[in-house]
Amino acid sequence: MSLSRRDFLKYGAGAGGAAVAGGGIDLRPVEAAATSLRIKEAKAVPGVCPYCAVGCAQLIYVKDGKIVDIEGDPDAPHTEGALCPKGSSTYQLSLNERRITKCLYRAPGSDAWEEKPLDWMMAEIAKRVRKTRDETFVESAKVGDKNVPVNRCEGIAWLGSSVLDNEENYLIAKLSRGLGLVNLENSARLCHSATVPALGASFGRGAMTTNLIDVQHADVIMPTSNWAECHPVSYKWVMKAKERGATIIHVDPRFTRTSATADYHVPIRSGTNIVFFGGLIRYAIESKKYFHDYVVAYTNAPLLVDPNFKGPADLDGLFSGFEPGKRAYDQSTWKFQLDADGYPKKDPTLKDPHCVFQLLRRHYARYTPEMVERVCGISKALFLKVADIYCSASGPDKTATASYALQLNQSTNGVQQIRALCMLQLILGNVGRPGGGVVALRGHSNVQGATDFGTLYHMLPGYPAEPLQGPHPTLTEYLERTTPKGGYWVNNPKFVVSLLKAWWGPAATKENDFAYDYLPKREKADAYSHQHFLVGMLQKKVKGFIVMGQNPAVDSPNAKMSRQALRSLEWLVVVDLFETDTAAVWKEPGVDPKASKVEVFFIPGAPAAEKDGSITNTMRLAQWHVKAVEPPGEARSDAAFVVDLGNRVKALYGGTKAKKDRPIVDLVWDYQPQGPKKEPTMELVLKECNGYATDDITDKDGKLLYKKGEPVKTFAALRDDGLTACGNWIYSGIYPEEGKNLALRREKAKGGDYLAHGWGFAWPANRRILYNRASANAAGKPWSEKKKLIWWDAEQKKWVGNDVPDFSPTMAPDAPRAKDGPLKGISGTDAFIMNPHGLGQLFASVLDGVFPEHYEPFESPTKNLLSKVNNNPIAKVYDIGELNKLGTPDKYPYVLTTYRLTEHHAAGMSRHVPWLSELYFGHFAEIGPEMAKELGIQNGDMVTVETPRASIKVRALVTERIKPFVINGKKVYQVGIPWHWGYQGVMKSARGDITNDLVASLGDPTTFIQESKALLCNVRKGVA
Ligand code: SF4
Per-residue pLDDT reduced to its tens digit, 825-869: 999 999 999 999 999 999 999 999 999 999 999 999 999 999 999
* pLDDT tens-digit series, residues 656-707: 889 999 999 999 999 999 888 999 999 999 999 999 999 999 999 999 999 9
Instruction: Please answer whether residues 189 and 550 qualify as being in contact, where contact means their C-beta atoms are separated by less than 8 angstroms.
Output: no
**CA 234 to ligand 1 center in whole angstroms:** 8
Instruction: Please answer whether residues 40 and 9 qualify as being in contact, where contact means their C-beta atoms are separated by less than 8 angstroms.
Output: no
- Ligand 1 pocket residues where CB is under 6 Å: 49, 51-52, 54-56, 83-84, 86-87, 231-233
Instruction: Please answer whether residues 840 and 203 qualify as being in contact, where contact means their C-beta atoms are separated by less than 8 angstroms.
Output: yes
Q: What are phi and psi of 907, to 5 degrees?
A: -85, 10
- CB environment 685-711: b (16+ within 10 A), e (fewer): bbbbbbbbbbeebeeeeeeeebeeebb
DSSP 8-state assignment for residue 215: G
Three-state DSSP state, 1022? coil
Average pLDDT score over residue span 344-371: 98
Using the Cα atoms of residue 329, residue 334, residue 340 and residue 343 in order, give the sign of their dihedral: negative
User: pLDDT value at position 61?
Assistant: 97
pLDDT over 90 for what percent of the chain? 94
Average pLDDT score over residue span 75-89: 96
Task: With cut-offs at 50, 70 and 90, classify the pLDDT of residue 362.
Answer: very high
**CA 232 to ligand 1 center in whole angstroms:** 7
DSSP 8-state assignment for residue 797: T
Task: With cut-offs at 50, 70 and 90, classify the pLDDT of residue 1024.
Answer: confident
Task: With cut-offs at 50, 70 and 90, classify the pLDDT of residue 751.
Answer: confident
Task: With cut-offs at 50, 70 and 90, classify the pLDDT of residue 34.
Answer: low
User: pLDDT value at position 36?
Assistant: 72
User: pLDDT value at position 127?
Assistant: 98
Give me the chain's average pLDDT, please.
Answer: 95
User: pLDDT value at position 40?
Assistant: 85
- CB environment 931-950: b (16+ within 10 A), e (fewer): bbeebebeeebebbbbbbbb
Q: What is the pTM assigned to this prediction?
A: 0.95
Cβ-based neighbours of 573, under 8 Å, separated by 6 or more: 125, 544, 545, 546, 547, 600, 601, 603
| Least confident stretch, 12-26, 357-371, 438-452 | 12-26
Q: Does residue 18 register a pLDDT over 50?
A: no
* pLDDT tens-digit series, residues 585-628: 999 999 999 999 999 999 999 999 999 999 999 999 999 999 99
User: pLDDT value at position 9?
Assistant: 28
Q: Does residue 895 register a pLDDT over 50?
A: yes
Q: Using CA positions, which residue lies closest to atom 2 of ligand 1?
A: 52
Average pLDDT score over residue span 292-316: 98
Instruction: Please answer whether residues 330 and 811 qualify as being in contact, where contact means their C-beta atoms are separated by less than 8 angstroms.
Output: no
Using the Cα atoms of residue 749, residue 752, residue 758 and residue 760 in order, give the sign of their dihedral: positive
Strands of 794-856, DSSP E = 798-801
Q: Using CA positions, which residue lies closest to atom 8 of ligand 1?
A: 56
**CA 54 to ligand 1 center in whole angstroms:** 6
d(CA 552, CA 497): 34
**Chain Cα centroid distance, residue 645:** 27
**Is 22 buried (19+), middle (13-18) or exposed (0-12) by CB count in 10 A?**
exposed
d(CA 391, CA 380): 16
Task: With cut-offs at 50, 70 and 90, classify the pLDDT of residue 541.
Answer: very high
Task: With cut-offs at 50, 70 and 90, classify the pLDDT of residue 161.
Answer: confident
Q: Helix 356-364 to helix 273-286 angle, to the nearest 10 degrees?
A: 120
Average pLDDT score over residue span 923-931: 97
Task: With cut-offs at 50, 70 and 90, classify the pLDDT of residue 27.
Answer: low
d(CA 141, CA 177): 18
- CB environment 137-163: b (16+ within 10 A), e (fewer): bbebbebeeeebbbbbbbbbbbbbbbb
* pLDDT tens-digit series, residues 273-290: 999 999 999 999 999 999
**CB 617: neighbour CB atoms within 10 A?**
29
User: pLDDT value at position 37?
Assistant: 75
User: pLDDT value at position 908?
Assistant: 82
Ligand 1 pocket test, candidate residues 51, 162, 212, most atoms within 8 A of CB:
51
**CA 86 to ligand 1 center in whole angstroms:** 6
445 CA: nearest ligand 1 atom: 7
234 CA: nearest ligand 1 atom: 3
The DSSP-derived string for 616-667 is: E-TTSEEEEE---SPPSTT---HHHHHHHHHHHHHHHTTT---GGGHHHHS-
Q: Which of 226, 267, 187, 91 is nearest to 901 (CA)?
A: 226
**Is 323 buried (19+), middle (13-18) or exposed (0-12) by CB count in 10 A?**
exposed
Q: Does residue 428 register a pLDDT over 70?
A: yes
* pLDDT tens-digit series, residues 500-520: 999 999 999 999 999 999 999
**CB 362: neighbour CB atoms within 10 A?**
15
Q: Does residue 22 register a pLDDT over 50?
A: no
Task: With cut-offs at 50, 70 and 90, classify the pLDDT of residue 29.
Answer: low
Q: Using CA positions, which residue lies closest to atom 6 of ligand 1?
A: 87
